[in-house]
């Protein structure tokens, strides 16, 4: 009976799916930690987010070997438990991100701001052109993603 049990997968299909999602999520989180740990001096040229590089001294040196250990454990579990990797499409991820931002921009014209209270009469002349320009840029990035050239901005 033991030999029959040893030939059977350790986890059933639902259990494998659970671990595929859990461990893939952990891999994603660890990848974010690596980026944060390895890039403390990376220039971040954002106007509306100030990234405080406040990881403790020596964090990267101490964390990266532990992250490598976790990655090795995940690889071993994936092999032993017959977990299937998910396929990540950068094109789909970028398209989803840009499409979501495009929709948010479309909803953020002065007309869309009415739910936030009274609109200053000057807002339309300033806000709408800025939103339109950002919308055009995001639309151009989506076009580029689909292999089409940018629109003529003139």
Whether 150 is in a domain gets the answer: no
Strands (E), 26-82: none
Domain boundary among 29, 49, 80: 80
Tokens of 67: 């992250």
Whether residues 8 and 48 fall in one domain: yes
pLDDT > 90? residue 8: no
The number of domains in the chain is 2
DSSP 8-state assignment for residue 45:
-
Strands (E), 37-137: none
Whether residues 11 and 45 fall in one domain: yes
Confidence of residue 96 (pLDDT cuts 50, 70, 90): very high
**In this predicted structure, which of 20-24, 25-29, 42-46, 89-93 has the lowest mean pLDDT?**
42-46
pTM for the whole structure: 0.73
Structural domain that includes position 120: 90-145
**In this predicted structure, which of 4-8, 62-66, 77-81, 149-153 has the lowest mean pLDDT?**
149-153
Whether residues 106 and 136 fall in one domain: yes
């Amino acid at each position: 009976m033991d030999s029959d049990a040893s030939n059977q997968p350790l986890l059933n299909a639902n259990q494998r799916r659970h671990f595929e999602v859990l461990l893939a999520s952990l891999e994603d989180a660890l990848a974010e930690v690596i980026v944060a740990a390895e890039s403390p001096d990376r220039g971040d040229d954002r106007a509306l987010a100030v990234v405080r590089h406040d990881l403790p001294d020596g964090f990267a040196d101490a964390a990266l070997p532990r992250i490598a250990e976790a990655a090795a454990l995940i690889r071993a579990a994936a092999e032993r438990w017959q977990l299937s990797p998910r396929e990540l499409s950068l094109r789909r991820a970028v398209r989803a991100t840009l499409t979501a931002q495009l929709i948010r921009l479309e909803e953020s014209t002065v007309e869309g701001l009415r739910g936030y209270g009274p609109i200053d009469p000057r807002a339309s002349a300033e806000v709408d052109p800025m939103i339109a320009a950002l919308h055009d840029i995001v639309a151009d990035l989506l076009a580029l993603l689909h292999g089409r050239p940018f629109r003529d901005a003139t």
